[in-house]
A and B are shown apart, each in its own frame.
Chain A
Amino acid sequence: MVEHRPALNLLSHVVLILGVLIVAFPVYLTFVASTQSAQDIATARPVSLLPGSHMLETYKLALLGGNTSTGSLIPAAAPMLWVSLVSALIIAIGKIAISLLSAFAIVYFRFPLRGLVFWSIFITLMLPVEVRISPTYAVVSNLGMLNTYAGLTVPLIASATATFVFRQFFLTVPDELVEAARIDGAGPLRFFKDVLLPLSATSIAALFVIQFIYGWNQYLWPLLVTTSEDKYPIVMGIKRLIVGEAFVDWNVVMATALLAMLPPALVVVLMQKWFVKGLVDTEK
């Protein structure tokens, strides 16, 4: 900002506040609904915007499971949050690891069929998992990976987003660095470990955020591949609460939804700085 323009400053704040209100309103409503009782919501026309008094008991119910006053049994969300956490971490870390290696190979080596390898990896961006889900399930089943963390995570690692981002980034690294490493007598792996990786820190952070959220928010794939309830991730748990012909305990649904939003939101907020820096770096 160059000059002093108070009117424009005020306008900026107004716009931002409005934006925050609109964007954050659904989340606020989720919170408010989770503090009311299920009967209140069922008979509300519309739902009250003020927080109710049932917050502690609702969250305890959502997190640890138990019986509601209307007689339904709520399964505990805590184990499901754990499953989501482990899956998201495996997916994020796994994907970043193999993509770093592939992108490095593609950018820094010249080898026969390099173009083919490049495009075979990139074509995975063009057919999302929902579309090929049934045959993928057959493969996973044949490999005996049903209802395991491996089954939940490995097929989701098979897409090229991370490789793409790393490729873009590696292409921006000045050639002089490679030459300097060469002169120092370092081989490709030393260069990778000592020069490239540290430079890629922000991109890795950005991708970690994206992949963690991707893995955390999966619904359809875990639905197919899990056969016992101890492997259900949290998004499945939320849907389970609203499915069926019986009464829906909306307050517990909202509390669980909020609990499900917290870890990825935390990841985004905490890694914001690196995330933004990582995006800036890859675009340059």
Chain B
Amino acid sequence: MNLKSLPRTLAVPAALLLALCAPAHAQTEVQWWHSMGGALGEWVNDLAKDFNASQKDYKIVPAFKGTYDESMAASIAAFRAGNAPHIVQVFEVGTATMMYSKGAIVPVAKVMADGGQKFDPKAYVPAVAGYYTAPNGQMLSFPFNSSTTVFHYNKDAFKAAGLNPDAPPKTWPEVALAAAKLKAAGHACPFTTSWVSWTQLESFSAWHNTEFATKGNGFNGLDTRLAVNTPLHLRHIENLANMATQKLFVYKGRGNAADATFVSGECAMMTGSSGLYGSVKRNAKFAAGISTLPYYPDVPGAPQNTVIGGASLWVMSGRKPAEYKGVAAFFAYLSRPEVAAQSHQRTGYLPVTLAAYELTEQAGFYAQNPGTDVAVTQMIRKTTDKSRGIRLGNFAQIRTVVDEEMEQVWSGKKSPKEALDAAIKRSNELLERFQKATKS
């Protein structure tokens, strides 16, 4: 072989060899920790899969990390060890904790700007995005799965009790009347609720354009304190307590424990998450309806809008710029109208962008699935300073405090006034402690 031609004869096989050994394209991995189990876990995995397939630069790697509390604890432990994931799904009550952590997170608006992605905060549904936006308008976390409080009811049970199944109660007095009729017809559980604090105090307040906590529900200052001892709140808890005594309202547990009782037909009416829709449609053996959250008609400004539940995606600090570009690209992908609309229709969560809402409406989804637009219409409104959302530190603990105190009311151990006062006192201690720990 001629030495001079050696390089050329080796060039082609060498190039082939390189092509086989080298990775197709150096992909930047982005870690995403979430708490979506079951069917929702599949949704998360599909989103990651589709995004990864749509481009070659970044790879989103989702990992289920337990319940919302557990994954938050895991993220914190990881952060303290210098090893945080890029994206964490944090529940709405963890917003203040994430927001006030000095330097632990990177605001989404900054991530999008740095990543060169077009980002228009006004494209997002105001009542949804507002919860996760700083007072100065900067969006801090990416709204991902948001639900809101709605009123589920059993149409068949209504018919059997002589109530009109297509005219659900819109006000609390009407709910009480309907419950009485259901009880008279032999129903053991006319009305129940899940997420006591969220449905009966937080969303209740926003729905009536009243503050749940001072300083604009905590948006305007760390020195926020609970404000649920107004006559309106007291009246409502007293009504519920009376209903409980008359066995019109049956308490079915903390969190979403009550959901199963509605789906199985045990309870006829329930205030709870709009996200239950999918479950009900698939498994309930009765005709079910969704309506808006009940309100008191004599309160000016009611109904205003409800407060969201669910979680958002936060970006942790301490990773490389190239990886943040991947995060930005992923968020841009999630905001695409078709993607957001698909997510909304698949899961029952609220649409994240206005475009997604319009797309869904145009496709006739709401017409074909009556009741799915109730949640959305409760939220697509201009919010006020009192109804934009809630931002409290130690919020998860505050909800537990409310659960505990309200349980004393339902079991008759405390009067509504005592329980509300105790809840406020204990919650304010928690808020003070958060304020102190954060200011330092």
Q: Which residues of A contact B (CB under 8 A)?
A: 38-39, 42-45, 70-73, 75, 133-134, 137-138, 141-142, 146, 223-224, 227-229, 232, 236, 239-249
Contacts and interface: CB of A to CB of B under 8 A. Distances in A.
Nearest to B39: A72
B72 to A, nearest CB: 12
Q: In the complex, which of the residues A39, A227, A246, A248 has the most CB atoms of chain B within 10 Å of its own CB atom? A: A246
B81 A141 contact: yes
B289 interface: no
Given A38-B283, A247-B279, 11 more contacts: A42-B264, A44-B264, A72-B39, A133-B77, A227-B63, A243-B35, A246-B37, A246-B275, A246-B278, A247-B38, A249-B38
Contacts of B282: 39, 70-71, 247
Contact of A244 (B36, B61, B80, B85): B36
Given A223-B74, A224-B77, A245 B256 contact: yes
A141 B40 contact: no
B265 interface: yes
Contact of B42 (A73, A137, A141, A240): A73
Interface string B54-81: 0000000101111100100110111011
Nearest to A67: B42
Contacts of B285: 43
A141 B81 CA distance: 6
Contacts of B263: 42-43
Contact of B38 (A141, A227, A241): A241
A239 B81 CA distance: 25
A38 B39 CA distance: 13
A43 B264 contact: yes
A39 B39 contact: no
Contacts of B61: 228
A246 B38 contact: yes
B266 A244 contact: no
B65 A223 contact: yes
Interface string B316-348: 000000000000000000000000000000010
B39 A71 contact: yes
Contact of B266 (A45, A236, A239, A248): A45
Given A243-B35, A248-B38, A141 B284 contact: no
B97 interface: no
A241 B67 CA distance: 11
Nearest to A232: B64
5 contacts: A39-B282, A42-B279, A224-B73, A240-B37, A246-B39
Contact of A137 (B63, B77, B265): B77
Interface of B: 31, 35-42, 45, 61, 63-67, 70, 73-74, 76-78, 80-83, 85, 147, 256, 260, 263-266, 273, 275-276, 278-279, 282-285, 347
Contact of B63 (A71, A72, A228): A228
Contacts, number: 107
A138 to B, nearest CB: 4
Nearest to A133: B77
A73 B77 contact: no
B66 A239 contact: yes
B283 A39 contact: yes
A245 B275 contact: yes
Given A243-B37, A246-B38, A246-B278, A141 B147 contact: no
A72 B38 contact: yes
Nearest to A46: B264
Can you list the 5 inter-chain pairs with the closest CB atoms, starting with the nearest?
A141-B81, A72-B39, A73-B42, A244-B37, A243-B37
A228 B76 CA distance: 17
Contacts of B31: 227
Contact of B39 (A146, A236, A247): A247
A226 to B, nearest CB: 8
A73 B64 CA distance: 13
Contacts of B266: 45
A95 B31 CA distance: 33
A223 B45 CA distance: 19
Contacts of B40: 244-246
The residue among B41, B83, B266, B275 with the most chain A CB atoms within 10 A of its own CB is B41
Contacts of A134: 76-77, 80
B80 A138 contact: yes
Nearest to B85: A227
B318 to A, nearest CB: 13
A43 B147 contact: no
